[in-house]
Every structure is written in structure tokens, then in C-alpha cells.
Structure 1
Amino acid sequence: MGLLGMAAKGPSPTRRLMPQPHLAVSSLAASVALIHCFLNTRRWLTSPSSSPRQWPPPAPQSKTKPRHESTQLAETKTRSMEEEVIKLQKCLQDKDGQLCSSTSSTEQYHHELDDLRTHLSFTQATGEAGEQLDLLQKDVQAREVTQMQLKDIVIRIETNIMDEVAKAFEIAMLRGEIRILSTHWTNKTKNLESQLKKHQRTDQELKKRVLKLEFCLWSCHPLVRSPPHLPLLLAPLLFSCCDWDIASWILNLGQNLGRSRTTMMPGTYSYFIHV
């Protein structure tokens, strides 16, 4: 197989089956083969055994080297070049395999990285949700504490209100009882005052009757000596219905009556009786 044939030959079927990103490697191998062919032809054309004007190059003369040896040298060169090209193709295939494995690994790494990113986003979301849940739990606990405090305050206020209402009811009941008692005692005091006035009137009437009876008895028995204690008995009765001057005059009169047997004039009795 010649160099030009190898250069003109298209890509191998293994290269055709490669994925699209590896076409650059195959084109690079083809360009390397073409460069090798171009360099070999140029070297062969610029050699001193052949002139640049003759094409194809003339056969070598028998004087310098035999024809068989030159063909052997050319074949060995071509074989060595073919071996080098095969080695290069193998290296390129190895590089292609490494590149495929690296691309597959990179794709796998990309997938793993995407998975890690999704997991990281999920973990971040779960962390944020956990923080929000903790904050909500703290807020709920604080609200429960405030609700308990408010319940205690409301219960305390309700108890105070109930106590005040009970006290107000008791005060109203006491006021009603006090009013009833006050009306009762006012009525009783009025009754007692009226009874006292009646008793005073009856006492005054009785005193007047006693005085009338005493004076009547005195007038009926003018020769009887009057008892010495009569003016003293009549004086308190006269103090309640007469003036001080009249009462003192009655006392003096009683004392004079006790000392002498003279009788009083009828006009004096009538004066005291009508007073």
C-alpha cells in the first residue's frame, strides 16, 4: 500500500461510527498522513540522484547502485513509514478511546454534578424550610405563652368583676334593708313622738284635774289645817304649767296657810284653776 493511497483513503469505518465530537481527531490524523506524504515526496524530489525537471524520476544507473537495491530501500522506507503511520493511527485510536472515555466520564461527572446541584438545592430548600419551621415553632410557642398570660389576666379580671358585682349587690341589699329599717324606725319614732305627746297631754290634764281636786278639797274643808307638805307637793305640778313667779307665790302661800288657820278667798282658787 502506497503513501498516496493511504492519504487518499477516507476515514476508517471505526471512525465513521465515532460520535460527532471526535471528527476533529480523525481529520487531524488525515492531515498528518498528508503532511507525511508531502514531506516524503519533497525529500525524494530534492535528492541529488534525480533532477527537478524530470518526472517521474529516472531510474538509477547501474554504476552507482543496482536497481534491485534501490527498490528494496524504497520498500523498506515505505514499510517503515507505513509502520509509523499505523503506530500513529493506533496512538490516535488510543487517544480517541481516551477522549471517548474522558468525554463519557465528563458527561457522567456533569450528570453527577447536576444531581449534586439538585440535591444541594433540595438540601438548601429543606434547610430554609427547617429554619422557617423553627421560627414558626418559636413564634407559636411565644404566642401560646402570651395567650396563657392573657387568659390568666382575663380570668383575674373576671374574678375581680364578679367580686365587685357581688359587693355591689350586697351593698344594694344593705341599702334596701337600711332604707326599710330607716322607714320603720322613722315610723316608730313618729308613733313614739305622737304617743309621747299624747302622754304629755294626758299628764297635763291629769295634773290639772289633781290641782282642781286638791283645791276643791281645800275649799270644802276651810277649818281644817292644811298639811305642811301640800305646797311642796303642788309646786312641781305648778312648775310645769305656770311661770316661776306664780310657782314661788304658790309656795309662799302654802307656807302661810300652814302657819295660820285662815282660809283663802274663793277668787284665788278660781285663778289657779283657770290657769
Structure 2
Amino acid sequence: MSDSVKTTVDPLLKDLDGKKESFRRNVVSMAAELKQVRGRLVSQEQFFVKESFFRKEAEKKAKNMEMEICKLQKKLEDRNCELEASTSAAEKFLEEVDDLRLQLALTKEIAETSAASAESAQLQCSVLTEQLDDKTRSLREHEDRVTQLGHQLDNLQRDLRTRECSQKQLREEVMRIEREITEAVAKSGKGTECELRKLLEEVSPQNFERMNKLLAVKDEEIAKLKDDVKLMSAHWKLKTKELESQLERQRRADQELKKKVLKLEFCLQEARSQTRKLQRAGDRRDKAIKELRDQITGKELNESVSREKPNFWDTSGFKIVVSMSMLILVIVSKR
């Protein structure tokens, strides 16, 4: 019985020993697996802690970036408002510049017309000066003629005086001869008186006729000379009056032309001063417009640079943080 029992117990013991060893092996392997799992859990917990820390930092960075984005948006809005204001001001300046250009064009046209009128006035003045020179020459010629006529009148008056004197002398001589004859007749006797009377009757009629003829001729010449003198004096007076009236007219015309020339010169000076002022104002406005355009271009460049800057949502750091957070969420969801 004992041998049969031993034979039946030994394989059971062997099985138990095998099972114990296999169980021990399983326990050892399970312990090793537990250690590995615990190590993995510790490493995963550390990784989770790191990921949570990184996630918090990423959230903080995201919040900070959102704040910065809000600030940048506000700055962009402010700059857009400034740009709109500057563009409106630039448009106003451009309108004012266009108005100034129109005014400059009008002033240039006025200046050109005034210059043309001044040139025409200068041409008229030159023509009138030539006419004045011609008239002064003619006046000088008339004055020379008048002086010649005056000399002729003086000579005629001298001739008249000399002839009147000679006529008086002849009459006095005739009267003296008659007196001498009458005295001689009175002194001499009657015989001689008869002879003298005969001689006087023969001689005196002839002499008296000759003397009367000469006196008549002289009287006619004197009358003609007087008429010529009267005519010359009247003609000279008329010429002098005409010359004086012409001189007054020329003086008035000269004064009027001088006034017109002065007015035109004053208008030209005013037009030139206005054009200079408008040109200066236009230059100032052009400089201001250039400065505004430079400012606008600078702002546009700054805006383009700011727009060209990488967006926070497109940055590599943000993408890495998002990918890590997605991995963490996947791992947590699996567990």
C-alpha cells in the first residue's frame, strides 16, 4: 500500500512543485512587470506634470499673446484712424492746392494780359514818343519859321520907318525949297519975280508931279508893307495860338500817357507780388503735402511690416504646444 501510495503521490508532488515554480516564476515576472508599470506610471506622471506645466505656461503665453494681439489691434485701429484723418487732411490739402493752382493760373493769365497790355502801352508810348518827336521837330520848324517871320517883320518895320523918315525928309525939303523960292521972290524985284514965276510955272508942275508920283508910289508901298505886316502879324498870332494849343494837347496827352503807364506799372507790380505770394504759398503747401505723403508712406510701410509679421496662431511654438496638448489628451482619454 505504501509503495502504491508513494507511486501515486510522487507525480502529484512533482506537479505541485512544477506549479509552485511556475507560480513563483509568474509572481517574479508579475513583480517585474509591476515594477516596470510603476516606473512607467512614475515617468508618465512626471511627463503629465511636465505637460501640465508646459500647458499652463503655453496658456499663459497664449493669454499674453492675446493681450498683445488686442493691444496691437487697438494700435492698428488708432493708426487706421490716424491714417484716415491724415488722408482726409491730405485730400483737403490737395483740394486747397488745386484751388491755389487755379488761382495761380488765373493770376498768371491776369499777369500775362497785364504784361501784354503793358507791352501794348509801351508800344503806344513809343509810337506817341515818336509822334511827339515829330511834332516837336515840326514845332521847332514852325518856331524857326516864326522867328524868320519875326525877323522879316522887324526888317519890314525898319523899312517902313526908314521910308516914312525919307518921305518926311522929302516933304520937308520940298517945303524948304518952296520957302526959299518964295523968299527969293519976295527979295527980288518984279522983273525977276515974273521970270521966277515963269520958271516956277515951268519947273514946279513937273517937280510937283514927279514928287507926287514918288509920294504916291511910296504911299502905296507903305500901305502894302503895312498890309503885309498886318497879315504877317495875324498869321504869326494864329500860328503861335495853334502851336500853343498843340503844345497843351501834347502835354495833356503826355500826362495821360504817363498816368496810364504808371497805373499799368503799378498793376504789373501788384500782379507780380501776388504771383510771388501765391507761388510761395504753393511751395509751402507742396512741402506740407510732401511731408504728409512721406508720413503716410511711412505709416503704410510700418503697417505692411506689421502685417508681414508672423501671426501668433501660425507660429511654430504655438503649433508644438497644441500638438503636445493633443497628445496628452489622447493619452488621458485612452486611460
TM class, shorter-length: 0.3 to 0.5
Q: How high is the TM-score relative to the length of structure 2? A: 0.35
Q: Which has the higher Rg, Structure 1 or Structure 2? A: 1
User: Which protein, 1 or 2, shows the higher relative CO under an 8 Å CA cutoff with sep ≥ 6?
Assistant: 2
Larger helix fraction of residues? 2
State TM-score, norm by structure 1.
0.41
